[in-house]
Structures are given as structure tokens and as C-alpha cells.
Amino acid sequence: MKRVLVLTLLAGLLTAASCDGGKAPAGGDALELSTLVQQSIPGQGGETVRQVVRDQAAWTALWAKLREGSALPEAPPAVDFAREMIAVAAMETQSCVSRVTIRSAVEAGGELVLDVLEAPPAPNCICITSERPIHVVRLRRVDSPARFTVERGQTHC
């Protein structure tokens, strides 16, 4: 009986892990993501950013905004925009520990769907300084219009 229960629970967990929650189109082309920067920048102010960048001028301008008041290098990471592009997710300034993650990118149905997990601080968190979480990824260039789907989580203290 215990063995059947354990197998049933494992099957349920595997099924849940393989589901996409309806966020990304089925049968699409998953794109490999390479993280360039993922961190929370202490004391940085800023708004929510969900943006795909396909040219150097836009990348340089966005990088300048992302690095304001931080220890990030002045020059943005190099990108070959003929073959690659950048996706950026940044949360507005949070009161405490927090994280944002671009979990996947799928091209299907004429669009690029980027799945993002935003995890603001848990309600019981008390911190000395605010911070702004950002995640910057590099991926293969596609010209499809981009759409971000966002799931809210929580970062524990």
C-alpha cells in the first residue's frame, strides 16, 4: 500500500513538473537562454522592465539605465545582434530581498513568449535597504513580436 502511495505521489509530481500552466504555446521552438546578469541591486530605484532588445543602440541605452547607481560595468556585455538578442526583466524597486527570473523563451504561433517569475519579498521581511532585481539573458535572434507572461512568487527572508 505504501509503495502504491509513493508511486502515485511521484507520478503526480512528475506530471506537475512537466506542465507549463498554459503560459507557453504548445509545440513551440524553445530557445536556449544564457544569463548575462541576474542580481538585485541594493538601493537602486527603478520601474518594471520587460523588454527584448535587437540592436546595439537600444542595448547601450537600456544597459545605462539598468546599471545606474550599481557596480555593474559601464560597458554592456557584448552581443552579436546579427545572430542574438537580449531579453530583460527587472522588477520595480522592492523593500527587501527579491528575485526575478526569465525561466524560458518559446517561439510559437508567430510570437516569442518569455516566461518570467517575479518573487518579491515575503510580508515578514525586514531589511535595511531596498533593492531592484534584474535578469538579463542572451538568446538566439528571432524577429517575432515578444510577449512576457509573469508568475508571482515570493522570496523568503
Q: What is the per-residue DSSP string for 37-87?
A: EEEEEET-----EEEEE-SHHHHHHHHHHHHTTSSS-SSPPP--TTTEEEE
pLDDT value, residue 26? 58
Residue 49 domain-assigned?
yes
Residue 23 lies in a domain: no
The answer as to whether 7 is a domain residue is no
Helix (H) or strand (E) holding 3: helix 2-18
49/67 Cα distance (integer angstroms): 13
Q: To which H or E segment does residue 18 belong?
A: helix 2-18
Residue 9, in any domain of the structure: no
86-103 core/surface letters (b: 16 or more CB in 10 A; e: else): bbbbbbebbebbbbbbbb
Contact 129, 97 (CB under 8 A): no
pLDDT for residue 100: 97
pLDDT reported for residue 12: 37
- Is residue 43 in some structural domain? yes
Counted domains in the chain:
1
Establish if 58 belongs to a structural domain. yes
pLDDT in tens, the chain (157 residues): 433 333 333 333 333 333 333 344 556 899 999 999 999 998 888 899 999 999 999 999 999 999 998 889 999 999 999 999 999 999 998 998 899 999 999 999 999 999 999 999 998 888 888 999 999 999 999 999 999 999 999 988 8
Enter the C-alpha cell of residue 83.
545572430
What is the residue range of 139's domain?
Answer: 28-152
Distance separating alpha carbons of residues 141 and 112, to the nearest angstrom: 10
